[in-house]
Amino acid sequence: MSFPEPPALGRIPRPSDTGLAVASLILGLVSIPTAPCLVGGILAIAGVVTGAVSLSKNAEGRPMAIIGCVLSVIGLLSTAAAVIVGFQFATKAFDEMGQIALKEDHAELVGVRAPQLELQTLEGESIALAGLKGKRVVIDVFRSGDPDCEEQVKSLNALFADVSPDQVVILGIAAKRQSDMEAFGDSRPKYKVAVLERLPWPFDETIWYPTTFFIDRNGVIDAVTVDNQPVETLRQLATAPDYTDAPAEVSPAVEVTLDPADGTLQFSQAWSIRFDNPQAMCVADWNADGFSDALIVDHDPALHVVDENGAEIAAVPLPEGFQTVTEIEAGVHKDHGLRLLGLSRWGNAVHVSDSSGNEVWKYKSMWGINGAHWGDLDGDGSDEMIVGMNGFSGLHAVSSEGKRLWTVRSIGNVWTQAVIGATASNPARVFATEAGGQVYVYDNRGNTIRAIRPRGHYYATMSATVVDSTERVQILAIGDELGNSGAKALAFNERGLVAWSTPIHTGRDAMRSQVFASGDADGDGEQDWILKSPGQGLIVVSSDGQAKGTLPFQGRLLGFGVLNGKENHALIVTLASDELTAYRVELTPESAAAEREGAE
């Protein structure tokens, strides 16, 4: 047996550099798939440095070090390209958002009949808008001392000198004190001006000065511009043909207070069922009998279906992916019946199961998924899925077979989504809250219909529902008031006109748990909203903002909804940590007596 020759005295063996070469190779390999984020660039730099050190020692592992360096350089270049493309995309997206905001700002007011407004001018003259029918009216809401407003006044002065007062009337509403009008100096308005500390609706919707409203000869708002405009644009809008569609009769938004003592409804417990480790719930017609059921997913995971009588009518084992879900929703496939989606909050996959508990498909994203909802986009009888993503991944539409249909890119997280499915008379619409808190409305192909401005709020969550048989849609959004400590719930139509709003305390629940649901709580044929208010309970609110009643509740809810049973009897169901409870919804004795008296 032979032994290796011992090293000469005074010499230390050179350590192997294979470890550095392997590290460089691994860093290079990992840097390429992570290149879209800055982490990939950091790993690539580390890979280049590690590989260079290994090569400088001219030892074992040289081929691996070379490959590691090459891969790391590719990863570094990919990261640089991703940063450049991301910057260009973000710049373009911000520009598009700004253009949409300018274009769509107050677009909801176009076609709305102007209010019966009466103004007191600086000269003491009283001017009623109703008395100006037969003439086109231009109303400029401005602020003295603002350079853009001063430029707009100059353009309007030029227009005032150019048009006949018998054809076009120009009025100004200054949103400051009369003394501030001196700031205009020689460029003061030559037309009539009223100074108002408190602007009337809809002029109180102004968030940027100057904002100019154009009213046709029939008293209908037919155009709104934001910022100063050249006189040619003002002339074109001031002398345009009248609005041709039927005008919308709209009232100012109502600020309501949801007093738990108010309302016409009372609640009593109907039944309760205990569950071990429930995770999430939703409401759907499981067996297609025309009445809704409560669907509960537990940690096993298994699906439990409970009808309006409190009887468990089905228990179905589910795929492993449903074990940690916090949100579920039922959809329909025209050939295969009911389907269930399950999503873990801040998860990276949506799991889809059929009614037998078989996994049909799942939709994954490495960046994370914020929410998913079913809705029939194309009217073929099968629900597609809308998925809101993290980061730049945007909003995805997914077919009933799990294939991506289209993508709308965003410059931030798509927090919440809602779908109004297609009907025989109306196409599908998709709603989503994105960066900046705006609610975006899309058609069934992902084209932007409009952006509903936030009105000084950052919407944290949002939903939409068809209110009645006329297919009127109402959107409910909850968000913090910027500059204030409180939150508000705002209900508005698809055009963005607010019907009502109310202060509401949601704590941090709006971003991480269910805070509202919709359903016909009192059986009158119209959808109501059920709002969760910590310290008060579940408040039933009609689509016109009237508090119908409050179901007292303390503690954490995993979910809640409305079950509609036979003879229009409704139940509100709540899922707590270990119990599903149903509450009957009935008229109070006073309300029932008043209803009988009215019927007689």
Q: What's the whole-number mean pLDDT along residues 181-189?
A: 64
* 366-380, 445-459, 535-549: range with lowest mean pLDDT: 445-459
359 DSSP β-pair partners: 353
The helix/strand/coil state of 252 is: coil
Q: Distance (Å, rounded) from C-alpha 383 to C-alpha 4?
A: 74
> Per-residue pLDDT for 214 more than 90?
yes
Please state, in angstroms and rounded to a whole number, the distance separating the CA atoms of residues 430 and 441.
6
- The tokens for 248 are 């919308």
- Residue 179 has a pLDDT of 45
* Helix count and strand count (H, E) for the chain: 7, 36
Contact 442, 432 (CB under 8 A): yes
| pTM for the whole structure | 0.72
User: Residues 287-304: pLDDT tens digits?
Assistant: 888 899 999 999 999 999
Predicted confidence (pLDDT) at residue 200 exceeds the cutoff of 90: no
Q: Which fold has domain 112-239?
A: Glutaredoxin (3.40.30)
Q: Is the pLDDT of residue 417 over 60?
A: yes
Q: Give per-residue pLDDT as tens, 20-62.
A: 888 888 888 888 888 776 788 888 899 999 888 888 876 677 8
Q: How far is 148 from 133, CA to CA, in rounded Å?
A: 30
Residue 527 — pLDDT band, cuts 50, 70, 90?
very high
Check residue 246 and give its pLDDT. Answer: 84
Tokens 């350089």 correspond to: 73
Residue 112, pLDDT score: 86
For residue 478, pLDDT over 70 is answered with: yes
Contacts 24+ apart (CB under 8 A), 288-295: 288/337, 291/563, 291/564, 291/565, 291/566, 292/562, 292/563, 292/564, 292/565, 293/563, 294/561, 294/563, 294/573, 294/575, 294/580, 294/582, 295/328, 295/330, 295/340
Please report the pLDDT score of residue 474 as a whole number.
Answer: 95
Q: Is the pLDDT of residue 5 over 80?
A: no
Percent of the chain with pLDDT over 90: 44
How far is the C-alpha of 564 from the C-alpha of 553, rounded, in Å? 21
In this prediction, residue 9 carries a pLDDT of: 47
At 361-406, the pLDDT tens digits run 999 988 789 999 999 999 999 999 999 998 778 999 999 999 999 9
Which residues, at least 6 apart from 84, have a Cβ–Cβ distance to it below 8 Å? Answer: none
Identify the pLDDT of residue 597: 76
Is 80 exceeded by the pLDDT of residue 501? yes
- Name which residue leads in pLDDT, 27 or 594: 27
What band does 102 get if pLDDT is binned at 50, 70 and 90? Answer: very low
The predicted pLDDT at position 276 comes to: 92
pLDDT score, position 375: 97
Mean pLDDT of the chain: 85
Give the highest mean pLDDT range of 206-210, 313-317, 500-504.
313-317
- Over the range 482-506, which residues count as b (16 or more CB within 10 Å of their CB) and which as e? eeeeebbbbbbbbbbbbbbbbebeb
Contacts of 92 (CB under 8 A, 6+ apart): none
Q: Count the neighbouring beta carbons within 10 Å of the beta carbon of residue 294.
A: 27
Q: Which residue has the higher pLDDT, 253 or 183?
A: 253
